[in-house]
Amino acid sequence: MPIRTAYTAKIDHLQILDEQGRLDPALSAPGTPGILSDEQVLHLYKLMIECRQLDEIAFKLQRSGRMHTYPQNKGQEACALGAGAAMRKGIDWIVPCYRENAAMFMHGVPMTHVLLHWAGDERGNQYPPGVRVTPIAVPIGTQMLHATGIAWAAKIQHKDEVAITFFGDGATSEGDFHEAMNFATVMNVPAIFFCQNNQWAISVPRESQMASETIAQKGLAYGAQVMQVDGNDLFAVHKAVFDARERARAGGGVTLIEAITYRLGDHTTADDARRYRSNDEVESWRAKDPMIRVRLYLERKGRWSETQQAQEEQRAEAAVKATVETVLAWPAARREEIFESMYKDMPKLLAEQMESWSTHSLGMDRAQQGLSPGRKLGAATH
């Protein structure tokens, strides 16, 4: 039998805003769905400044012993901002990893709660009612399974909801990624898998952990729609996610977006990236900083100035410092709270455990001899 081609594919790379702050006129024509307005860009740039300020202050809090390990978002803000702005607040689900502060804030998570989380306070994961954001996921890859389940539930219940989950390049080497992608595509759920390819899985470079030329192509194996975007381009990220969202709403299923970006800081405050990254590499990416790119765009449009920059930086610093003061003065947690937040209606077994403060059956059943009136648990009997 003759040899025939069984499968061919191509992956598009999208860039709309270049590194000098200039828009591609063909891709940003007025009326094009998913293209940000200048008012939207102004709002997102101010939030970017605030998130960058949060990174700086959180770093100092960790170094002064007032907060635990913290992962800076610096350099990757366009990913969270562009994607978050493309999802519908209160309708769609944001399923983050741990560098999506901007998207979380946009969808209703208070900044106080993010700081509480990294300070080791579980109450940081108890978001206000109606906030459709799942807790920060520190284990690598687990959140993709959660997003798949959320999207599947939306499909079963015929709800107009889309779930987007964020993860890094290293997470695509985890089994959770492949299991989530396979289930999501087979069940054709309304989900967006957003990979922030920042080139490093902690200290392992992308080329050392996978043989594939792109991460986007991994989605092809599962039948997903795929796209690669300039992850430091706010416009491209927003457009790609907007299109994926609308496709998912129309029954088009899963999209895998690979955003090419770079973390300008260490992996976390417990890391020293100088041990494995060259200064030349970092500096080359620093010139591609999404904050610089967006500012250049706004200046070209006559919508930003040095005076505005200084004023906004002062406002952001004051806002973040006020949030930090609130967190540092946060009242101590009641012990009961670790039980109260588990279920909407506390099961009887959990209520008994809370009452007795014991995890074993003897402690939970006060009718047993060891806990009868006047007796101490473990007291000798004669």
Catalytic residues: 263, 267, 276
Structure-token match 């949060």, residue found: 54
Tokens of 324: 């930090």
Backbone angles phi, psi at 225, to 5 degrees: -75, 140
Q: Rounded to an integer, what distance in angstroms lies between the CA atom of residue 184 and that of residue 161?
A: 15
> Hey, how many other C-beta atoms are within 10 angstroms of the C-beta on 2?
3
CB 228 within 8 A of CB 292: no
Alpha-carbon distance 207 to 199, whole Å?
A: 8
- Given a contact cutoff of 8 angstroms between Cβ atoms, the answer to whether 36 and 81 are in contact is no
Strands 225-230 and 204-205: unpaired
d(CA 298, CA 85) in angstroms, rounded, equals 18
Rounded Cα–Cα distance for residues 115 and 323 (Å): 9
C-alpha to C-alpha distance for 259 and 282, rounded to whole angstroms: 18
